[in-house]
Amino acid sequence: MTISFKRIYDKPSASDGMRVLVDRLWPRGVSKASAHIDLWIKEITPSNELRKWFHVDPDKRFAEFSKRYRAELRKNHEAVEKARASLADTVTFVSAVKDVERSHVPILRSYIERR
């Protein structure tokens, strides 16, 4: 399985493969038709509490956020495995976060790829 990621505001392309929204909330200003989302797996995104805590100071809290989010994923093993089983060979995780590299998206990708 190959997993890449991009912002939902970037234009979809045929090379995206299966487009999976990995945000807990639907992105503002994006219609479902224009998003071209094949699957929305909000069950394995960071909890609201963790997400809000992180957004207070993302630069200083990223390392701790990463640890806490991985712990949430381990506790939510059943949902992670269910999501993983639903994925195609080529997947693009799509998110509305401004800085995809310093968000939950690469952490989730790494976690799923190691399973």
Q: Is the pLDDT of residue 86 over 80?
A: yes
Domain range for 103 is: 2-113
Average pLDDT over residues 96-111: 94
Predicted TM-score of the model (pTM): 0.91
Q: Please report which confidence band the pLDDT of residue 1 belongs to, taking 50, 70 and 90 as the band edges.
A: confident
Q: Which residues of 15-46 are buried (b: 16+ CB within 10 A; e: fewer)?
A: ebbbbbbbbbeebeeeeeeebebbebbeebbb
The model's pLDDT over 22-75, given as tens digits with 9 standing for 90+, comes to 999 999 999 999 999 999 999 999 999 999 999 999 999 999 999 999 999 999
Total count of domains within the chain: 1
